[in-house]
Structure 1
Amino acid sequence: MMSKSDFFRFERKNDDFPFYSELQSPTLNLKTSLIFLIAVAAGFALFLIGFGGTYGHPFINVIFPLAAVIFVARSQWTLLFRKLVAKDIILILGTYIVNLIVTYGVGFIITKLFNFSANPVSEGFNGNFSDTITTFLTMLPMLFGEELITILPFLVILYLGVKKLKLNRKSAIILAWIVVSIIFGAYHLPTYNWNIAQAILGIGIVRIVLLYPYIKTKNIWTSFIVHVLNDWTLFGFALMVSMHH
């Protein structure tokens, strides 16, 4: 049994991550872990090559990982999602503010220390309003996909940490938190011209903040909403700058 000391003080009481220990059914094993990771890799690879056309492409990272969860967890796949509660609003807004500060802070430091590559989406604004709305709406499935291809590997590493590496729960969470933040940064290497400092360090550090609401609430909606607010704000700023030029 897990004791109180296995949980971080910031986590919601009486709730735990799905799939990683035998206290939750279904528990991951090596085979189902591999299914999760293959689905994530396949979705990401197809996303990178632009598969799915105009309408399918933004959903690729949603379809593959979610299909894997449904395949493995059957009716329990909904454990990734919780109901949003009133206090989540404070958590989401708080994380959003911290995340923006971290994003700009880390961005500022990296531009001072390393070469910097602009995100092509923020470069591509042409001032056309309907195109802009489309860009913002397209970001919804894309960012939800980014949550899935981060949180599924997180749960796999958590399972491997506890079950295979025999780590305690807290250590396994920290391991998973750091590793998937690095992986998430690596996802962005092609976006930023393979700029390792910017992708791994910059985006990786931001992802550490972005994962906090999920780790606190076990609810993918919380980190997803913060992620959307964050990216909409960044691109909104880029849009305003481009309109003033």
Structure 2
Amino acid sequence: MDGDFLLARLEKRKMVETDKQRIDRNVKEIFDNIVVIFQTTRFIPFHKFLIQFIASLVVTIVFTATNLDESLLLKISIKDSVFYKVLLASFYTLPQALIFYFLFRKNIRIFFRKITKKHFTLSLTIAFASIVVAMFIAGLLVYGFSQTMTAHSEITTFSPSDIFTYIIQLLGEEILFFSAFFLSLKLFTKRKEPQYVLSVWISGLIACLVFGLAHLWTYDFNVIQCVIVIGLPSIIKIVLYLKTRNLWSTYLAHLFYDLMAIVITFSGKL
């Protein structure tokens, strides 16, 4: 009973707090999470992060830069069938997920937590903010600097059955992104005097760079587009992770982002 009373008072206090107080509360919460993430990363062996990053990078290069996956899967399934698309996405995500689980199964709660309604709402908000930022940067490059943007073939040829591909494949992309982030962060934890905020943001920028460059084959090696339009806006996912400490939240944000991009692309064709 006392617990319910205290929770009710806390909710009431949140309702009457000013915008400045709300901002201060969220900043403090994010900083506290930064410290927790930093200290947790410190106690996980370096070789685990290195193995995960190398494995994710190799799988990504094989998946995007070669036709090895298609050559193997075409022997057991018809191309463009739903079964084939699911297998193809699994070919990318499953090896990464299995290695991740094997390496971090004892620390799995550090990375993945139960998704809540608040996490879901935040993921949707971050996805919307990310696509607004990406569209602004793309527009600036095209109309301000006369850069050419390369279309994403999977988006322009999207069909309803492709949703299964996105659901599976984007989890693999999240593992790649955050394997780069945690590997970089682990290097910063070796300092005698930790610089929590700086370490996290530099690690986040490195993850964005890796994530952007991983799309080179998909966007015909348009480096500027991959780094600035795709990689840079992904820094918002770091904010989401710092807020929720839940990779399911960043995964949902990524899924919502891609679905919004599909809707925008097809709306422009109508």
Check whether TM > 0.5: yes
Q: Which residue in the other structure is 1:11 paired with? A: 30
* Cα distance in 2, alignment partners of residues 88 and 13 from structure 1: 18
**Quick check: 2:33–2:243 contact (8 Å CA) kept in 1?**
no
Q: Deviations over 1:195-228 (max 9, x none)?
A: 1111111112221123321122110111111111
**1:1-245 maps to which residues of 2 (within 5 A)?**
9-11=28-30, 16-17=36-37, 20-22=41-43, 27-29=44-46, 31-48=47-64, 49-50=66-67, 51=69, 53=73, 54=84, 55-112=86-143, 113=145, 114-125=147-158, 132-163=159-190, 167-242=194-269, 244=270
Give how far 1:141 is off: 1.0
- Relative distance call for 1:172 and 1:165 in structure 2 (3 A) is farther
Please tell me whether the aligned partners of residues 61 and 148 of structure 1 are also in contact (alpha carbons under 8 angstroms): no
| Paired letter, 2:107 | Q
RMSD, aligned α-carbons: 2.4
TM-score (norm 1): 0.82
Q: Which has the higher helix share?
A: 2
Code of the residue aligned with 1:185 in structure 2: it is G
Determine which structure has more spread, i.e. the larger CA radius of gyration.
2
CA contact (8 A) 2:33 2:242 kept: no
2:149 and 2:205 map into 1 onto residues whose CA distance is 23
Separation in structure 1 between the aligned mates of residue 268 and residue 250 of structure 2, nearest angstrom: 27
Distance 1:165 1:213, change over 3 A: same
Say how many residue pairs are matched: 226
Shift of 1:164: 5.5
| Counterpart Cα distance in 2 of 1:197 and 1:145 | 23
Displacement of 1:12 in angstroms is: 7.7
Compute the displacement of 1:108 (Å): 0.8
Alpha-carbon contact 2:61-2:214 (below 8 Å) kept: no
Aligned partner letter, 1:118: A
Structure 2 CA distance, aligned partners of 1:187 and 1:234? 19
Please tell me the residue identity of whatever aligns with 2:28.
R
1:81–1:220: 8 Å Cα contact kept in structure 2? yes
Instruction: Output the CA distance in 2 between the equivalents of 1:40 and 1:155.
Output: 13
Q: Which stretch of structure 1 is more off in the superposition, 211-220 or 13-22?
A: 13-22
Unmatched 5+ residue regions in structure 1?
1-6, 126-131
Q: Contact 2:215–2:226 at 8 Å: present in 1 too?
A: yes
Match of residue 4 from structure 1: none
TM-score, normalisation: structure 2: 0.75
Tell whether the 8 Å contact from 1:28 to 1:156 is kept in structure 2 after alignment: no
Residues 167 and 190 of structure 1: CA distance in aligned 2, closer, same or farther (over 3 Å): farther
Structure 2 gap segments, 5+ residues each: 1-25, 74-83
